[in-house]
Amino acid sequence: MSEKEIKNLEQIFEAKIARDEKIEPKDWMPEKYRQTHIRQISQHAHSEIVGMLPEGNWITRAPSLRRKVALLAKVQDEAGHGLYLYSACETLGISRDELYEQLHSGKAKYSSIFNYPTLTWADMGAIGWLVDGAAIINQVPLCNTSFGPYARAMVRVCKEESFHQRQGYEIMLTLCNGTPEQKEMAQDALNRWWWPSLMMLGPTDDESVHTAQSMKWKLKRKTNDELRQQFIDQTVPQADILGITIPDPDLKWNEETGHYDFGPIDWDEFWQVVKGHGPCNKERISARVNAWNNGEWVRDAAMAYAEKQEAKKVEKAS
C-alpha cells in the first residue's frame, strides 16, 4: 500500500471513531491503534489475573463461611474477567502464549496496586471498597470504547464488579461496628490502601504520555486527574459512614469548586512500584510463573487425551 492510500484509510478510520462507530477485529486499523490496544487490554487482563493473588491469600482464613464463599466468588469473577479480556486481546492477532510470556518476563505491566501485601482480614474489605471502587470508575467509561470486543468485555465486567465493591464495604462496615480492635484494623487497612488506590488511577495529566491519543480513540473518556477527583469525592462520604478517617491531613471540602481538595501524592513511590521495587512484585510474578509451569503437564495431558479421543472417533468411522 502506498503512503497516500494509508493516509486515506487512516482518515476514514478516524472519522468512523468520531461518528461513534465501533471497530471490529477484522476491520482495517492503524498499526498504532492495534499496538496500543494490545498493550492496554493485556495490562487490564494481567491485572485481573494478578489481582487474584492478594485476595487468594485470605480465602482459607476468611472469618465465616459467608465471607469465604463471597470471597471465592469474587476471586473467580476476577479469573473470568481476565479470560474475557485475554480473548478480546487475542482478536488483535496476538496469542495467549505470547500474552503470558509478556507478563512472566516483565515486559507487560499490571496494575501496581497488586504489589502491596494483604496483611489482615480488613484488607479484603479495603480492597473491595477502594481498589474495586477505583477500578469501576476506570472501567465504566470503557463500556463505550471504540474497539468492539473490548467494549463488550467491559460491559460484562462492569455488571459483575458492583458486587465486589459492596462485599468489601460490608466487611469494612462490620469491622467498624465491631470491637475497638476491629475498628482499628479497618482504619489501618484504609491507611495502607488509600494512597495506592489514588495512584491506581494513573499519573497526573501532565505526566501521562498516552492521554491525548487515548481520548481520541475513546480508550479514555476522562483524564486521570478527573477520574481521581471523582473517586475521592465519592469515597470521602463513604468513609464518614464507616466512621474512619482518610489518612490525608489536607483533605477538605472546597465550597467553591464543589470538590474535595487533597494533599500531594507520593509519585516516587508509584514509579518505584511500577519499576518492580514494590513490596510484592517478585512474589506476584513468581506465583504466576510457577502456576503456569506447574500446570504444563495438565495442559499437555488434556491435549493428548483430546487427540486420542479424536483419533478413536476417526477409527470408528472408517
Partner 1 sequence: MTEKKNWPLWEIFVRSKNGLEHRHFGSLHAADAEMAMENARDVYTRRNEGVSIWVVESKHITASNPEENGEFFEPAADKVYRHPTFYELPDELKHM
Provide the binding-site residues for partner 1, judged by CB under 8 A. Answer: 24, 26-28, 73, 76-77, 80, 83-84, 87-88, 90, 95-97, 152-153, 156, 160, 299-300, 302-303, 305-307, 309-310
Specify the residue, 74 or 228, whose C-beta has the smaller distance to partner 1. 74
Q: Which of 138, 28, 49 is nearest to 93 (CA)?
A: 28
Sign of the CA dihedral with 20 first, then 21, 22, and 23 last: negative
Using the minimum distance from each CB to partner 1, give the nearer residue, 76 or 177.
76
Q: How far is the CB of 301 from partner 1 (least distance, A)?
A: 9
Choose between 74 and 220: whose C-beta lies nearer to partner 1. 74
Q: Which helix (H) or strand (E) holds 48?
A: helix 31-50
Q: Considering beta carbons, is residue 53 or 88 the nearer one to partner 1?
A: 88
Minimum Å gap between C-beta 305 and partner 1 is: 7
- Residue 273 makes CB contacts below 8 A (sequence gap 6+) with 112, 115, 116, 196, 281
- Cα(28)–Cα(92) distance, integer angstroms: 11
Shortest distance (Å) from residue 226 CB to partner 1: 30
Cβ atoms of residues 89 and 99 within 8 Å: yes
| 41 neighbors 117 (Cβ within 8 angstroms) | no
Q: Return all residues near 227 (Cβ < 8 A) that are at least 6 apart.
A: 137, 138, 201, 202
Q: How far is the CB of 97 from partner 1 (least distance, A)?
A: 6
CB of 306 to partner 1, least distance (A): 4
Using alpha carbons, list the distances in angstroms from residue 135 to 44, 230, 299.
10, 12, 32
User: Closer to partner 1 at the Cβ: 6 or 241?
Assistant: 6
Residue number with CB closer to partner 1 (253 or 305): 305
Neighbouring C-beta atoms of residue 240, cutoff 10 Å:
11
Distance CA 35, CA 108 (A): 12
Closest CB 172 distance from partner 1, rounded Å: 24
